[in-house]
Amino acid sequence: MQSRLDSKAPSGPIETRWDRHRFGMKLVNPANRRKYKIIVVGTGLAGGAGAASLGEMGYNVLSFCYQDSPRRAHSIAAQGGINAAKNYKNDGDSIHRLFYDTVKGGDFRARESNVHRLAELSVNIIDQCVAQGVPFAREYGGLLDNRSFGGAQVSRTFYARGQTGQQLLLGAYQALARQIEAGTVKSFPRTEMLDVIVVDGVARGIVTRDMVSGKVEAHVADAVVLATGGYGNAFFLSTNAIGCNATAVWRAHKKGAFFANPCFTQIHPTCIPAGGDYQSKLTLMSESLRNDGRVWVPKSAGDCGRDPAEIAEKDRDYYLERLYPSFGNLVPRDIASRRAKMVCDEGRGVGTELEGVRRGVYLDFRDSIKRLGEAKIRERYGNLFEMYERITGENPYKTPMRIYPASHYTMGGLWVDYNLMTTIPGCFAAGEANFSDHGANRLGASALMQGLADGYFVLPYVLGNYLASAKLASVDEGHIEVKKAVADVEERIEKLLSIGGERTPDSFHRELGNIIWNNCGMARSAQGLEGALARIPALREEFWQNLKVTGTGESLNQTLEKAGRVADFMELGELMCRDALARDESCGCHYREEHVTEEGEAARNDSEYQYVAAWEHTGDLSKPTLHKEALEFEYVLPVARSYK
Amino acid sequence: MSKTMNLTLHVWRQKGGTDIGGFETYKAPEISEHMSFLEMLDVVNERLLADGKEPIAFDSDCREGICGMCGLVINGVPHGPNAATTTCQLHMRHFNDGDEITIEPWRAAAFPVLRDLVVDRGAFDRIIQAGGYVSVNAGSAPEANGLPVAKPDADRAMDAAACIGCGACVAACPNASAMLFVAAKAAHLGLLPQGQPERYERVKKMVAQMDAEGFGHCSNHYECMAACPKEISVDFIARLNRDLMRATVVERDHEEKSGGAG
Ligand SMILES: Cc1cc2nc3c(=O)[nH]c(=O)nc-3n(C[C@H](O)[C@H](O)[C@H](O)COP(=O)(O)OP(=O)(O)OC[C@H]3O[C@@H](n4cnc5c(N)ncnc54)[C@H](O)[C@@H]3O)c2cc1C
Ligand code: FES
């Protein structure tokens, strides 16, 4: 059973694995490249950089996104920064240290070879972006500035104010624009991919819907790259853009691509809490706030409704400082999130009561303002404080912020080998859409790094190698498999439009999100997961009986778009819970209440669970097949994380 | 207790690009002051859908003021009454019970309406395609710290690069000019050493594309800057005009140099 999972990860000294692997690759003659058509779905850091680079090499590239412009991909929203092992600060950073930190931070559930390649490529990314004109922050001497991020002990994070993702994405977008002008890339904005076309077991194209005219059509190609981002919106509320969806990866999964570690989802501790049942998304507040803000809740539940200014010092519980004296408010994301949930579950949360529970904790700057002065705090966090006030109407200089964890990033994704190829030959996955580099927990500022590494420096090689070695039969729009894929998509759209029930797509999505959040969020248990696994299929059945979509398929119809995405989340949500149930250990983000150390931390079980869980769709959603890719650690030996 | 309000909305509805649109009036009762403007529309849309009607189409994605996807003209003002705030970041606490609110799409010949409040801003992409980049292939970049950039230049470039491409500047301009958008990109790249080799070619090409797309001319109304959610300065327009003039000189220099080769 495991034979189908060949990671193709090279062996030998880890420092030279990528070099040696690249040398062994086949190349496509430059003159022949334009004869190969490559589809790239997604224009975020991974897809935008990938499509641009493949275009530069001379391939014939088709680029797709659901927004009205490739420049708006969700990568644009990343604030904090991007890691790279440049060691400009002379503080002991190196490729090996970045590799080490990433493997350890991922709680030993990532593949060493991939992570090392990522750390190596990190330095090239910064060079590339600077050459494109990305306006990174600079020191007075004119050289690049760095900061330390997410509890890292070295300063390796490059940033562009609070808009690093925006600037990196604009760099990739402009490179893409240049290729569109040059004619190597054809751009299809407002075009949603709804299926992968597989012919003789090999990916040969996609089916799309033009989101303005409603036209469904096939695009045939020699290879398909999915760079469609994460599935954090399965929870309904998340920090993701509201259009982020799992449709592309889920359709590929149903056509044969294994889905790896679906339960590995990152919950970010510092987000603005939900205000009411109208809430459409949650806003992330940069983690850097924890450098100067102190996290607390009242000691007694009776104080939770009171004005925080009236709560005396002795009645406050600075629980992170109490539980983790050495890291205090700077403990890793998963720990900070879990502890916030626990104090709220105890009834000690603050802020608006939703469904009978106050879900918020204070992040208080009072002491920092006293120590450093308001001017200093304004200089450090002015824009974040403004953003907070704009959303909540409260002034954080005067009253503590309220924060609560939210779904933020998905480490799980399509299983890929070292060549970023899924289990469907010819179908690749890059960026957040794949599972490859972050294990069970991602470090801050490492997602941007991975997206660009995949896009600029990995895809160009692995696609060339694939195209030079694959023997592809000629396929056109008239091929029976192509026609069938188009007909299937049309039939599904017709079905969504014709149910004629009573409930809106959003109402189903909210209910689904709640089930997943409560049972497969910050804490999971066999009992909770089993409950969710009973409720999700029932909800899905109701969805297909009682959905209401108005309008037609032949026009811009946002309700229809939502309905299709929710339908896929309904299926993926079940797999997330199944995976969480099967992984009967705790690791990184995956906190099984049954597996906790004496101090209340995640207890890994390396002897039984040191593997990647890769799920195969069998046609029966309740019975996917689990394949295991065993993980070996030759360079970073597994140890328990400790932040006490 | 949070405040709620009852509102009356006058919303532009238009089935498709070639249809004639018009305003329709909707009641929006019990709107919480903590909702964002788009969440208010979500609530209205859920009710329309429940009544079997087609929801109001409008664009949004990040809902945190950075992707540039959202954009409504609210009571005649692009992105509504708050300075430096995108539509998605505007909250209902800035409105009052009983308010009547008019909601329209961006209006500009170069941004045709696709449906209701959704417009086609493809013209912006084509302006960037015409030259809004530095020509450097993946893999060919020199070491990042090889070329220092004075901090004030980097900061100024970042001020310009903050543009989110939403198009409010065009919607606000009486001439529907795209000068602020073009100027921001020209300044972002033109202020950095990496952008110098193509600096003058770039502005010429982007401005030519802007004209070809049917945007109007800039006659210094500065409404664009007032509407810009990122407060991009009109000083960049002056800079663009200087670069454009210089572009003609540079072109002549290049012609003279390459001339006479026979
Ligand atoms: C608020 C926030 C802040 C963050 N900050 C940081 C940070 O500071 N540092 C860091 O390293 N990481 C950060 N992250 C994570 C990081 O931004 C993302 O992981 C990363 O940008 C994902 O890039 P991507 O290219 O894989 O996908 P995305 O940027 O999500 O792009 C997905 C693309 O796929 C397209 N697409 C999706 N589905 C379809 C479909 N069916 N059909 C057609 N097109 C489709 C979309 O249109 C889009 O173009 C942050 C994330 C969030 C939410
Ligand atoms: S939705 Fe992204 S800026 Fe408003």
The CATH number assigned to the domain holding B101 equals 3.10.20.30
Residue where one domain finishes, among candidates B76, B96, B114: B114
Backbone angles phi, psi at A629, to 5 degrees: -100, 110
Q: Which amino acid is at A584?
A: D
* Tally of domains within chain B: 2
Measured CA to CA, the distance from residue A314 to residue A77 in angstroms comes to 39
ipTM of the complex, rounded to two decimals: 0.97
| B36 close to ligand 2 (CB < 6 Angstrom) | no
Find out if CATH 1.20.58.100 is the number for domain A485-609.
yes
Measured between beta carbons, the chain B residues lying within 8 angstroms of A187 are 125
Is A338 noted as a catalytic residue in this protein? no
pLDDT band at A162 (very low <50, low <70, confident <90, very high): confident
- How large is the average pLDDT for residues A165-173? 98
State phi, psi for A489 to the nearest 5 degrees. Answer: -65, -45
Q: Does B224 lie at the interface with A, CB-CB under 8 angstroms?
A: no
The encoded tokens of residue B228 equal 């810009």
Indicate the pTM of the whole model.
0.97
Give the pLDDT score at A2. 41
Task: Tell me if A448 CB under 6 Å of ligand 1.
Answer: yes
B203 shares a domain with B87: no
Asked if B141 and A128 come within 8 Å (Cβ–Cβ), the reply is yes
Label residues A452-469 b or e (16+ Cβ within 10 Å = b).
bbbbbbbbbbbbbbbbee
User: In Å, how far are A442, A581, B118, B212 from A211, measured between CA atoms?
Assistant: 33, 37, 12, 26
Q: Are B169 and B180 in contact (CB under 8 A)?
A: yes
Domain A2-264+411-469 indexed as CATH 3.50.50.60: yes
Amino acid at B158: M
* Strand ranges inside A280-412, DSSP E: 294-298, 316-317, 353-354, 357-358, 361-364, 401-410
B20 and B50 belong to one structural domain:
yes
Q: How many CB atoms lie within 10 A of CB A334?
A: 26
Q: Are residues B209 and B245 in the same domain?
A: yes
Looking at beta carbons, which residues of chain A come within 8 Å of B106? none
> Closest Cα of chain A to B247: distance in Å?
20
Tell me if A447 CB under 6 Å of ligand 1: yes
pLDDT per residue as tens digits for the range A450-490: 999 999 999 999 999 999 999 999 999 999 999 999 999 99
| Contacting residues for A474 by C-beta, under 8 A, at least 6 apart | none
Final residue in a domain of this structure, among B114, B149, B178: B114
pLDDT of residue B261: 46
**pLDDT tens series, chain B, 262 aa:** 578 999 999 999 999 989 999 999 999 999 999 999 999 999 999 999 999 999 999 999 999 999 999 999 999 999 999 999 999 999 999 999 999 999 999 999 999 999 999 999 999 999 999 999 999 999 999 999 999 999 999 999 999 999 999 999 999 999 999 999 999 999 999 999 999 999 999 999 999 999 999 999 999 999 999 999 999 999 999 999 999 999 988 878 877 776 544 4
Question: What's the B12 CA to ligand 1 centre distance in angstroms?
Answer: 32
What is the torsional sign of CA A436, A442, A443, A447? positive
Q: Say yes or no: B42 contacts chain A, CB-CB below 8 A.
A: yes
Which ranges of A499-627 would DSSP assign to H, the alpha helix? 505-520, 526-546, 558-582, 606-609
B168 and B222 share a domain?
yes
Q: Is A643 a residue whose pLDDT tops 90?
A: no
The reply to whether ligand 2 has any atom less than 6 angstroms from the CB of B66 is yes
**Do B197 and B230 reside in the same domain of the chain?**
yes
Query: How far is it, in rounded angstroms, from Cα A43 to Cα B67?
Result: 13
Are residues B89 and B187 both part of a single domain?
Answer: no
- Judgement on whether residues B134 and B181 belong to the same structural domain of the protein: yes
Residue B143 with chain A: CB contacts under 8 Å: 127
Q: Which of B78, B94, B114 is the last residue of a domain?
A: B114
B85/B150 same-domain check: no
- In this structure, which CATH number among 2.60.120.10, 3.90.700.10, 3.30.930.10, 3.30.1520.10 belongs to the domain A267-407? 3.90.700.10
Which pLDDT value is given to residue A287?
84
- Residues A586-638 have pLDDT tens digits of 999 999 999 998 888 889 999 999 999 999 999 999 999 999 999 999 999 99
**B146 plus B162 within the same structural domain:** yes
State whether B154 and B176 are in the same domain. Answer: yes
Q: Are B80 and B134 contained in the same domain? A: no
Q: What are A413-450's pLDDT values in tens digits?
A: 999 999 999 999 999 999 999 999 999 999 999 999 99
Nearest alpha carbon to residue A223 among A571, A594, A475: A475
Q: Is the dihedral of CA B185, B186, B191, B194 positive or negative?
A: positive
Calculate how far, in angstroms, residue A73's C-alpha sits from the geometric centre of ligand 1: 6
Cβ of B89 under 8 Å from any chain A Cβ?
yes
What is the extent of the structural domain holding B12?
Answer: 4-114
Verify that B9 and B109 share a domain, yes or no.
Answer: yes
CB distance B51 to B103 below 8 Å: no
Residue A380 pLDDT: 83
Query: What is the mean pLDDT of the segment spanning A32-48?
Result: 98
